[in-house]
Amino acid sequence: MNNNELWAQILSRIESSVSTMIYNIYFKDTTLLNIDNNNTLIIQVKSDFIKNHLQNHFDDLISEKIKEISRKDYLYELVTSPPEVEIPKKKEEDNEIISQLPLEFKETVENNPVINVVDEVFPDYNDNLNPNYTFDNFVVGKQNSIAVTCAKAVADNPGTLYNPLFLYGKSGLGKTHLMHAIGNEIKKKWNKRVLYISSKQFKEDYQEIFSNRETNKTLLAAFKKKYYDIDVLIIDDIQFLSSAEKTQEELHNTFEAFKPFQKQIIISSDTSPDDLQKFEDRLKTRFAWGMSVQISPPDFDLKVEILRNKMAGHETANRIKPEVLEYIASNSQSDVRHLEGIINRLYVMIMMYQPEVVDLEFAQKYLADDIADNKYSDNSIEKIKKAVADYYNVTVDTLKSKKRKAEINKARQIAIYLCTMNTDETVERIGLSFNRDHATVIHAREKITEDLKNSEQIRQEIKEIKDKI
Ligand code: ADP
Ligand code: MG
C-alpha cells in the first residue's frame, strides 16, 4: 500500500464518522506527503485555520483512524501548503455576503480564509431545476387551471405579484412539476438566479449548523450564501418542516432577508397554510400572504387528457385505442404519478406481446395488476349489479330482465359499463350475466363512454356508485 492508498483508506473511515459538510471542509483536501522516520505521517492541509481546527477538534479521531487502518502506532503532523500554493482570495461575492451578515459573524468570517471553503461545501451554484418540467408539457384542466394561471403569473412577474406563491394538494398532482416550470421560465425570461430545494434539504443544511457548535459561524455563512444569494427560492413539501422549530425560524429569517429585495418565494405543501400542523403561526401567516392555491385530483376528463398527452408521440400511439385511455382513466387512482406508472407498464406489455392493436381486452388482461388497488373483488359483477340496483332503486333481477323502460335501461347500461371497465370478465361473460349477448355489452359500454364525455350528471352518478362498490 503506497502513501496515497493508505491515506485514502484512512480518509474513507473518517468520512463515515463525520458529516459530509465537515468532511468536505476539513478533510477532503488533505494529502499524505510522506511518512517521516517511519513513524510520523506528514499530512498537508490547505490553511492554518484548517490545521488548527483539525488539531483542536479531530485529533482523537484522526489518531484512531490512522491506527485502525495502519495497525501501527504512527504519529501524525499537519503542515500547511507549501508557500507556492496560493491560498485563494475572497471573492467579490463573498465580500458582499459578509457585508450582509450580522456583526457577530462578520468578524469570524472576515478573519478566516475559510469562507473560501463555502464554495466547496456548496460547490458550483446549482439551481436543481429539472428542465423536463415545463408549462408546455403540463396538461391543464378544471382541477389545476387556477394553479397554472397563478404559476404563469409568477413566472411573468417574479417577486411582485403573488409572493409567496403557495401551492398545495395531495401527492402526485403536479406541484413539483409546476414549481420547476416556474423556475425554468423565470430563468429563461428574466435571467434570475433560481434555487429549487426540498424542505428536507433545507432542514439538513440548517441542522449542520447546529450539530457543529464550534464551526457554526462558518457554516452559517455558508448557509446564508447558499440561500440569500438567489432571486427565487422554491421550497418543495414544506410540511416536512413541521416541528422543526429552529429551521422554521431560519426560514422566517430568510423571508425577512428577501423582503426588501422583492425576491420571489414559491412553496408547496400537502395542506393549506392554515392546516399545517406544528408550524409557527407567524410563518403560517406569512405563507398565506401572497397567493395560496390548491390543485385537486384530476377527474376522468383530465386523466384522459393527461394520458393522451403523455402517450402522444410514442411509437405505439397509433396502435392504442381510445377506449384503453378511458379504461385506465376510470380505474386508476386520481394521482398522475400512478397514471404514469400504468403508461410505462402498458409500453412494456406492448413491447413484450407486440399486439397489432391495443384494445380494451389487451389493457384489461395486462394492466389488471397495476390497477389492482382499485379493482373489485372476485365476485365483482354481482357487486356492481347490486350497487347499481340499489342506487337506482330497482332490483338486481330487473337489471337482468328484458324490461326496456328508459330508467331501467340506463341503470342496466351503467351496470354493464362498470362491469366492462372494472372487472377482468370478458364481454361474453358479462353479457351472460345480464341475459344479453356480447354486442349489447359493447353497445352499452360505448353509449356510457359517450355519455360520460357529455354529461356531468352521469359522471356524478357513476362516481357515487363507484364509491359504494
Ligand atoms: P406532486 O409534487 O404534487 O407530488 P409531481 O409534480 O411530482 O406531483 O407530479 C407527479 C408526476 O405527474 C410528474 O411526473 C409530473 O410530471 C406528472 N404530472 C402531474 N400533473 C401533471 C399534468 N397536469 N400534466 C402533465 N404531467 C403531470
Ligand atoms: Mg412533489
Q: Stretch 43-51: mean pLDDT, rounded?
A: 85
307 lines ligand 1 (CB under 6 A): no
**Residue 377 predicted with pLDDT over 50:** no
**The pLDDT of residue 321:** 94
Q: How confident is the model at residue 421 (pLDDT cuts 50, 70, 90)?
A: confident
CA of 196 to the centre of ligand 1 (A): 16
In the structure, what pLDDT confidence band is assigned to residue 98 with cuts at 50, 70 and 90? low
Residues in the chain: 469
pLDDT score of 365 more than 60: yes
pLDDT at 220 over 80: no
Quick one: cell of 298? 384530476
Max intra-chain CA distance, the chain:
104
pLDDT > 90: percent of the chain = 51
283: pLDDT strictly greater than 90: yes
CA 21 – CA 30 distance, rounded (Å): 15
Output the pLDDT for position 213.
Answer: 62
According to the per-residue pLDDT averaged within each range, which of 24-38, 73-87, 369-383, 386-400 is highest?
A: 386-400
Please tell me the distance between residue 340's alpha carbon and the centre of ligand 1 in angstroms: 9
Is 80 exceeded by the pLDDT of residue 219? Answer: no
Ligand 2 center to 200 CA (angstroms): 12
H/E stretch holding 294: strand 291-294
Which residue's alpha carbon is nearest to atom 14 within ligand 1? 337
Distance CA 106, CA 89 (A): 17
pLDDT of residue 199: 93
Q: What is the mean pLDDT of residues 297-320?
A: 93
460 CA from centroid of ligand 2 (Å): 29
- For residue 68, pLDDT over 60 is answered with yes
- Does the pLDDT at position 129 exceed 50? yes
Find out whether the beta carbon of 118 lies less than 6 Å from any atom of ligand 1. no
What's the average model confidence in pLDDT over 164-175?
95
Residue 92 has what pLDDT?
A: 55
- Strand 264-269 with 291-294, pairing: unpaired
Which residue did the predictor score with more confidence, 33 or 123? 33
- Say which residue, 100 or 61, is predicted with more confidence: 61
299 lines ligand 1 (CB under 6 A): no
Q: Assign 382 a pLDDT band (cuts: 50, 70, 90).
A: confident
Ligand 1 atom closest to residue 137's alpha carbon, by position in its atom list = 25
Smallest CA separation from ligand 1 atom 25, residue: 138
pLDDT at 460: 92
Ligand nearest to the CA of 198: 2
Taking residues 372-399, what's their average pLDDT?
79
pLDDT at residue 184 tops 90? yes
Residue 336 in contact with ligand 1 by CB distance below 6 A = yes
pLDDT for the residue numbered 88? 42
The model's pTM is 0.62
Model confidence at 108: pLDDT above 60: no
* Window from 210-214, 300-304, 387-391, 427-431 with minimum mean pLDDT: 210-214
Atom of ligand 1 nearest to the CA of 138: 24
Position in ligand 1 atom list of the atom nearest CA 169: 3
Percentage of residues in the chain having pLDDT higher than 70: 88
Mean pLDDT estimate for the chain: 85
Q: What is the pLDDT of residue 331?
A: 82
Ligand 2 center–CA 302 separation, angstroms:
19
Q: Please say if the pLDDT value at position 83 is more than 50.
A: no
pLDDT of residue 260: 86
Q: Is the pLDDT of residue 85 over 50?
A: no
Q: How far is the CA of 173 from the centre of ligand 1 (A)?
A: 5
Is 97 near ligand 1, meaning CB less than 6 Å away? no
- Is the CB of residue 171 below 6 angstroms from any atom belonging to ligand 1? yes
Q: In this predicted structure, what is the pLDDT of residue 428?
A: 82
Confidence band of 82 (pLDDT split at 50, 70, 90): low
Distance from Cα 346 to the centre of ligand 2, integer Å: 24
The answer to whether residue 374 scores a pLDDT higher than 60 is no
Query: What CA–CA distances, in Å, run from 257 to 118, 164, 231, 260?
Result: 20, 14, 11, 7
* Ligand 1 close to Cβ of residue 291 (< 6 A): no
Ligand at minimal distance from the CA of 169 is 1
Distance of CA 349 from the midpoint of ligand 1 (Å): 23
In sequence order, the 6+-apart residues with CB closer than 8 A to the CB of 100 are: 224, 228, 257
> Is the C-beta atom of 148 inside 6 A of ligand 1?
no
Q: Which phi and psi angles does 244 have, rounded to 5°?
A: -85, 80
CA distance 318 to 312: 9
Spell out the alpha helix ranges (H) of 272-359.
281-287, 300-311, 322-331, 336-353
For residue 96, the model assigns a pLDDT of 58
Q: What is the pLDDT of residue 215?
A: 64
Instruction: Return the ligand 1 atom nearest residue 173 CA.
Output: 3
According to DSSP, residue 130 is labeled -
Window from 57-66, 218-227, 228-237 with minimum mean pLDDT: 218-227
Contact 298 CB / ligand 1 (< 6 Å): no
Average pLDDT over residues 407-419: 95
| pLDDT at 59 (0 to 100) | 92
At 86 the pLDDT is 38
Q: Kindly give the distance from the C-alpha atom of residue 195 to the centroid of ligand 2, in angstroms, as a whole number.
A: 15
Distance 344 CA to ligand 1 centre (A): 15
What three-state secondary structure class fits 220?
A: helix
The H or E element that residue 210 is part of is: helix 199-211
Establish whether residue 174 lines the binding site of ligand 1, counting it when its CB lies within 6 angstroms of any ligand atom. Answer: yes
Residue (of 169, 166, 182, 181) closest to 143 by Cα position: 169
